[in-house]
Chain A
Amino acid sequence: MSEPLRHALPTPQPVSTDPTHTWESAFQMYYVELCEYVLRFVGSAGVAEDLVHDLFLCLWDSRARRGDVDLTRSYLYVAARNRALKYLRHRRVAAAWIERAAREETPTASSPEDLYLRSELADAVARAIAELPARCREVFVLRRHQHLRYHEIAARAGVSLGTVKSQMWRATVLLKEKLAPYLFIL
């Protein structure tokens, strides 16, 4: 008994590779993630939230039929993706965009190892942000880390809305260049 356990741990069977969830734990765990994912397809936060909300409502209503505990991460992603693509078709969004969106990959589950790996990127990212010109940096940090709205940033920094937007764009482009080697590794 003692020996097999060591091998059993990394992929505990049968629940843990893609654990099944109750509606509640699926919601807690994946609501935000799925909104982020669907946003990549639809580009409008309101629409993304509506689509994910509808998905969970639909799952809630079908709880009795499904027997409660068969929700998995991969199931949720497939369901969310189908809804997003259906929405794009329904809205008659450009076919070329739908084709592009259909190639959108499901993000891999972020494990504690990933977070650990990410911690090694922290220096590079922090340095890149610190090296931005002062005005750019202020705007970027307020927007990206404090989630302030553009007009709030404008009021706070005492500049025009146009300036905030152009500084934000400038910051993003500079970071894109500084962080080029890391952009696609996660």
Chain B
Amino acid sequence: MFEQADLLRLIEGDCSPEEAATIQAWVAADPRRGELLDQLRGVWRLTGGTTREWGIPESHERSERGRPALQLVPLRRRWWTAPWATAIAAAAIAVLVVGSLRVFFNRPVGAPHAYATARGQLSSLTLPDGSRVLLGADTRLRVPRDYGVSSRTVDLEGEAYFAVEYDAKRPFIVRTEHGSTQDLGTEFAVRAYRQEPAVEVVVAEGRVALRGLRGADPVLVTLYPRERAVLDPGGETTVMRDVPLAQYLAWTRGALMFDDAPLARVIAQLERWYDLEIETTDAALANERVTISFMSKSADEAVKVLAQVLDVRSTRSGRLVQLIPVHPRH
């Protein structure tokens, strides 16, 4: 017959299907057992992340075949990187050391939180100080564990929109590969994809200071609302005033807008947004500049619109899209 201790096996999944069914029947026969089960699950939820280490099945590899692997930092982190877990881990380490039991926690304590979006995905988050961030597609944001203690510095690769709670004592800084952006009380977007050489900053509200990568680097430029700066890898800054925010920030509302933009930029963004690989055989096409917008969630529709504007034929097979010219270009 069963004992209450068998409930742990059910929670951890250490049962054959037959055993599980028998324990389940035993639980269901008495509401008090169900109540106990719920309480034990509560302990499990509080004291760790997942109940066990889950394997990644072949179904995943199947999708990976024939295309580059996607680098993705999981949003749902393992328990030992969760903020509350460090304290537990620390306590556990102390305990185990006292017990002279050798254990190795090979995760560095104080590892930053990493948030990431895949291609074709947006995500929003609120930082502990109430500042809000909207992550664009294919973007990674690292928030240090001591965020907000004495400084608020985050690392960005990709595109994000920030609505920052201003705090003069603890400046909010977005570091990217080529430069850093310091908020001076504001809402702004930063774009720094690894595939693109420049960092771009657009300010919607307030003020933003742009500096070189080292914190001590002098402020290169201060931006005000409706201003957009492009910081190229050589350290040159170009500022555009009175830019159409609706266009540069369209992505925050789930749309993409381009005004006289190089086709390569449009294609790169569509690839991220709809998780596609877009190819064209015609070199002349690559030099085109286009004015175009995409509002649809459907990749097919976006490809159709692009093909129409470019006056080309398009074929799509899975993620791969080909643009094929129908008329010779000049």
A: which residues have CB within 8 A of B?
1-2, 5-6, 8-16, 19-25, 27-33, 35-36, 39-40, 42-49, 53, 56-57, 60, 63-64, 67-70, 91-97, 99-100, 110-113, 115-116, 118-123, 125-127, 129-130, 134, 137-138, 140-142, 144-147, 156-157, 165-166, 168-169, 172, 175-176, 179-180, 182-184, 186
- Interchain CB contact under 8 A, A116 and B118: no
- Interchain CB contact under 8 A, A43 and B134: no
Contact of B50 among A32, A44, A122 (CB under 8 A): A32
Q: Does B187 contact A (CB under 8 A)?
A: yes
- Asked, given contacts A29-B75, A116-B128, A138-B96, whether A93 binds B254 with beta carbons under 8 Å apart, the answer is no
- Interchain CB contact under 8 A, A172 and B8: yes
The distance in angstroms between the C-alpha atoms of A92 and B25, with both chains bound, is 10
Contact residues in A for B25 (Cβ distance below 8 Å): 93-94, 96-97
Residue in A12, A15, A28, A36 whose Cβ sees the most chain B Cβ within 10 Å: A15
- Interchain CB contact under 8 A, B300 and A67: yes
- Interchain CB contact under 8 A, A122 and B84: yes
A interface SS class: helix
Contact residues in A for B27 (Cβ distance below 8 Å): 97, 100
Contact residues in A for B10 (Cβ distance below 8 Å): 43
- Interchain CB contact under 8 A, A147 and B57: no
Q: Does B264 contact A (CB under 8 A)?
A: no
- Interchain CB contact under 8 A, A93 and B204: no
**Nearest CB of B to A161, in Å:** 13
Q: Mark B276-298, 1 if CB is under 8 A from A, else 0.
A: 00000000000000000000011
Contact residues in B for A182 (Cβ distance below 8 Å): 42, 46
Contact of A16 among B16, B63, B87, B122 (CB under 8 A): B122
Contact of A49 among B39, B46, B57, B103 (CB under 8 A): B57
